Amino acid sequence: MTPIRTIALVAAFALAIVAAVWLWRSGDGLAVNKGASGEAGQAQGTGKPLVGGPFAMTDQNGKPVTDQTFRGRYMLIYFGFTFCPDVCPTELQVMAGAMQKLGAKAEKVQPIFVTIDPDRDTPAVLAQYVKQFDPRLIGLTGTAAQTAAIAKAYRVFYEKVKDEQNAADYSMDHSSIVYLMGPDGGFLAFFPPATGPDEMAAKIASFF
Ligand code: NI
| Ligand 1 center to 47 CA (angstroms) | 31
**Torsion angle in degrees (nearest 10) through CA of 36, 38, 44, 50:** 20
Which of 176, 7, 163 is CA-nearest to residue 79?
Answer: 176
| Ligand 1 center to 173 CA (angstroms) | 7
| Ligand 1 center to 174 CA (angstroms) | 6
Q: In angstroms, rounded to a whole number, what is the distance separating the alpha carbons of residues 110 and 97?
A: 13
Q: What percent of the chain has pLDDT over 70?
A: 76
What's the pLDDT at 171?
Answer: 92
**Torsion angle in degrees (nearest 10) through CA of 155, 161, 165, 167:** 150
| Ligand 1 center to 27 CA (angstroms) | 32
Look at residue 178 and give its three-state secondary structure.
strand
| Ligand 1 center to 80 CA (angstroms) | 5
Q: In angstroms, rounded to a whole number, what is the distance separating the alpha carbons of residues 90 and 109?
A: 19
pLDDT above 80 (res 68): yes
| Ligand 1 center to 67 CA (angstroms) | 23
Lowest mean pLDDT segment, chosen from 21-25, 49-53, 197-201? 21-25
Confidence of residue 35 (pLDDT cuts 50, 70, 90): very low
Residues 6 or more apart whose CB falls under 8 angstroms from that of 144 comprise 118
| Ligand 1 center to 176 CA (angstroms) | 7
| Ligand 1 center to 41 CA (angstroms) | 41
Report the range out of 9-13, 33-37, 74-78, 163-167 with the highest average pLDDT.
Answer: 74-78
Beta bridge partners of 158: 174
pLDDT above 60 (res 2): no
pTM: 0.80
Q: In angstroms, rounded to a whole number, what is the distance separating the alpha carbons of residues 81 and 1?
A: 13
Residues 6 or more apart whose CB falls under 8 angstroms from that of 71 comprise 183, 184, 185
Q: How does DSSP assign 122-148, residue by residue?
A: -HHHHHHHHTTT-TT-EEEE--HHHHH
The average confidence (pLDDT) of the chain is 85
